[in-house]
Amino acid sequence: MRILKTLGLAALLATTSGLVHAQDLRIGLQEDPDVLDPDQSRTFVGRIVYASLCDKLVDITPDLEIIPMLATGWEWNADGTELTMTLREGVTFHDGEPFNAQAVAANIDRSQNFELSRRKSEVKSIESTEVIDDYTIKFNLSAPDATLIAQFADRSGMMLSPKATGEAGEAFGLNPVCAGPFKFKERIQQDRIVLEKFAEYYRADEINFDSVTFLPIPDTTVRLANLRAGDLHMLERLAATDMASAEADDGLMVEKATSLGYQGITINVANGPRAENPLGQNAAVRKALSLAIDRNALNQVVFEGAFATGNQPYSPTSPWYNADFPVPERDVEAAKALLAEAGFADGLTIEVQVANNPVQTQVMQVIQSMAGEAGITIELAAKEFATLLADQSAGEYTASQIGWSGRVDPDGNIHQFMTTGGGINDSKYSDPEMDRFLNEARLSTDPAVRKESYNAAIAKQQEDMPIVYLYHPVWLWALDSAVDGFTPYPDGMIRLHGVSVTE
Amino acid sequence: MLAFLARRVFIAIPTVILISLFVFSLQHLLPGDPILVMAGEERDPEVIAALREKYRLNDPIPVQYLAWAGNALQGDLGISLRTQQPVLELIAEKLPVTIQLAVMALAIAILIGIPAGVLSAYKKGTWIDWVANITALSGLSVPNFWLGIMLILLVSVKLGWLPASGYMPLSEDPLQSIRTMLMPAFVLGTAIAATLMRHTRSAMLSVLKSDYVRTARAKGLRESVVLIKHALRNALVPVVTVITLLFGELLAGAVLTEQIFTIPGFGKLVVDAVFNRDYAVVQAIVLCTGIAFILMNILADAAYRVLNPRMSEQ
């Protein structure tokens, strides 16, 4: 009997010994996040930290389906103006305060009314919140808004302790208190952010680390060297040019997911006097530019083929992609014919502004040489990003190479760019039909109905082309091969539920 | 000596005011709008208006300057637009890091540069002089970022001797702190050592030709005493000037080296602040750096008087 017991124990040890709970998981980030207050923050890397710090009302699956997180279920009324959510019971914030409907109402109020909130436009459609009972809340909307649920899968849906926001006010970000798997421990700006496991987390059994440390290491070569030296367990945004060498390394793994965002060339069609040029005034010239570009070659030359080519605000793998307009092959003759038709048989010269970093500059140099063969001479104006943004916003540009990080809901990638008076419609493109398609798409919560509207909008976009879409970045993570259970998501976040490190 | 120091500090005040005015105007002349960067990708007009109001960016620039200067005099340097952290706190956080890196780099530079300079002057024209010169030239010519990355690949990735990057406060774990700083200090130190070596060499060469050195030798003093006590001490005056200037430069932050080794010092802070148009941070750091340079110069003047008492009488 004793032998059996010993053997049984030995067998148990043998099966579990491979799985050692690493004390601390170390993640390399490309930048230092900004303020750690989900209502105030704006950086991508900040959201990566929140994925471990602040749980949201809902989450997404890798296929972009919305799934419960702090909300366990939801229901729309018939005309889509009321959203009722049931909330998870027994959840506490890191300061021990209870999570309930009152807390949700306080969070929405802060996103809408806090002086420094960057979330105002995301929750604008909510006219009022109604606490039905402790674990049921109703949102009354001013008009149907199908995009709202997806907003709750990001910063607008992150729940902060109302007690902490009340006490700290705008300094909340110096010591954030949420309801996620890890709680805030310390931050040394530009050096590290340390979170430690929150023992009362409602899914604590899925968390295998005592703490997680985020280390901003901007240089991609150095970030990878840290991983190779064993100083990191994983890093985000591996350079596409390092992918082959990381994949060949036995000690490393590479994971990928096509991002929700895009890179393109935004064209000034009606934003002040600088729009008065052939490219801004003539859709045929814009189409010629698009046809002159070999998107595959661009991807191969600059990103070693690791990214995804594109011609729409959604990547070809997205359910919202309009398959009637596939990524065009390069056609120099057709581009020349379009130019001739528009009266520029001898070619023309345009200026394109580009952020002065090596990758985007290289992208534009490749396009410059391709467009040149079709008779479009591109003059590049390299600008530092803050300047580029200010000039673009003020209409001080002809065309601008810029991108968008992408949103879960299809509305987020197109509405504000293409509708009349849209917040980031720097082209100042305006078309009543486009406005109608995109506004209608917000009204229905039925994906099939919305898909029809987006198909129509994309068809219109292909005709007028105020933005020439180029490619969709692919998120590349490099991980120590001892890391297990990591799932890549198209939003680029690092979710640590179920992730472990085997020694 | 005290009166001298007091006079120098008093003269420095207008310089500090001029620096702050200059930086304030300069960064408002930069193109780009901090609020557009801060407002986030959506650039919601309502958010933009609220932020402009909040950070008083609608006020005329002279009004903004006076408000800033008034607060600065009371020890309030504002808050970082990017992280909401008080700037004074940020500086208090970064200053020890930058000072540690500067001191270690300078120590390495002095340990290499001065003996090499003395030796190459003493053995002028021999192979030792040539080796020292060539080494110094390579130290100056090799770019820091390249040397840094090569060191990381060799020392950390291949050999696993030192951490690849990062920082550990001296107070938490002194040994680990020195280990993390060793490579960046070496990269910075070698470049500076070359400068120091060249200056020491030329100063020593001129001193070694002087009459009192010949007299010292004629007295029958040991060569090491002649070299170190008589020649080097006098040769050090110009070298001290160079050292203080270099130290001032190091305190301003070694941007590339800090970036590569992810050292959270002034250099990284100021670069990020400029890109984000984080006015309060840029303003405060440039001011601190200016003050550091002035202090270094005052210290250098004081050091001359210690090295060469004749200077006090002038």
Task: Say how far apart CA A94 and CA A176 lie, in whole Å.
Answer: 9
Give percent of chain B with pLDDT exceeding 70.
Answer: 98
Mean pLDDT value of segment A414-425: 93
SS3 A195: strand
ipTM summary value: 0.81
Mean pLDDT value of segment A310-329: 96
Task: Say how far apart CA A299 and CA A281 lie, in whole Å.
Answer: 29
Tens digits of residue pLDDT in B155-166: 998 898 998 888
Q: Which of B29, B35, B46, B47 to mutate to test the interface with A (most CBs of A within 10 A)?
A: B47
What is the reported pLDDT for B313? 55
Q: Is A358 on the interface with B (CB under 8 A)?
A: no
What is the reported pLDDT for A7? 45
In the predicted structure, residue A354 carries a pLDDT above the cut 50:
yes
Structural domains of chain B, with CATH = 87-313 (1.10.3720.10)
Q: Which A-chain residues 30-59 have CB contacts (< 8 A) with chain B?
A: 32, 34-35, 37, 40, 42
Task: Say how far apart CA B234 and CA A202 lie, in whole Å.
Answer: 72
Tens digits of residue pLDDT in A226-283: 999 999 999 999 999 999 999 999 999 999 999 999 999 999 999 999 999 999 999 9
In the predicted structure, residue A151 carries a pLDDT above the cut 80:
yes
Pairing of strands A500-501, A467-472: unpaired
Query: Could you give the angle at the alpha carbon of A388 between the alpha carbons of A385 and A389, nearest 5°?
Result: 90
Q: Which A-chain residues 409-448 have CB contacts (< 8 A) with chain B?
A: 416, 423-424
Across the interface, whether the CB atoms of B272 and A32 are under 8 A apart is answered yes
Which chain B residues are within 8 Å of A228, Cβ to Cβ?
157
Smallest CA–CA distance from A216 into chain B, residue: B262
Mean confidence (pLDDT) of chain B: 86
Assess contact for A279 and A286: CB atoms under 8 A: yes
Task: Say how far apart CA B304 and CA B200 lie, in whole Å.
Answer: 16
What is the reported pLDDT for B105? 94
Tens digits of residue pLDDT in B196-253: 998 999 998 888 888 888 888 888 888 888 888 788 888 888 888 888 888 878 877 6
Q: Which B-chain residues 101-160 have CB contacts (< 8 A) with chain A?
A: 149, 152-153, 156-157, 160
**Residue indicated by tokens 């100063």:** B203
Across the interface, whether the CB atoms of A423 and B84 are under 8 A apart is answered no
Cα Rg, chain B, nearest whole Å: 24
Tens digits of residue pLDDT in A97-143: 999 999 999 999 999 999 889 899 899 999 999 999 999 999 999 99
**Residue indicated by tokens 């064209």:** A267
What is the reported pLDDT for B182? 93
Higher pLDDT, A348 or B294: A348
* Two tokens, residue B158: 């291949």
Tens digits of residue pLDDT in B243-286: 888 887 887 768 888 888 888 888 888 888 888 888 888 888 88
Q: Which of A29, A124, A189 to mutate to test the interface with B (most CBs of B within 10 A)?
A: A189
Q: Which of B42, B79, B152, B180 to mutate to test the interface with A (most CBs of A within 10 A)?
A: B42
Across the interface, whether the CB atoms of A116 and B50 are under 8 A apart is answered yes
Assess contact for A474 and A307: CB atoms under 8 A: yes
What is the reported pLDDT for B253? 64
SS (H, E, C) chain B: CHHHHHHHHHHHHHHHHHHHHHHHHHHHHCCCCHHHHHCCCCCCHHHHHHHHHHCCCCCCHHHHHHHHHHHHHCCCCCECCCCCCEHHHHHHHHHHHHHHHHHHHHHHHHHHHHHHHHHHHHCCCCHHHHHHHHHHHHHHHCCHHHHHHHHHHHHHHHCCCCCCCCCCCCCCCHHHHHHHHHHHHHHHHHHHHHHHHHHHHHHHHHHHCCHHHHHHHHCCCCHHHHHHHHHHHHHHHHHHHHHHHHHHHHHCCCHHHHHHHCCCCHHHHHHHHHHCCCHHHHHHHHHHHHHHHHHHHHHHHHHHHHHCCHHHHC
Tens digits of residue pLDDT in A186-230: 998 889 999 999 999 999 999 999 999 999 998 888 999 999 999
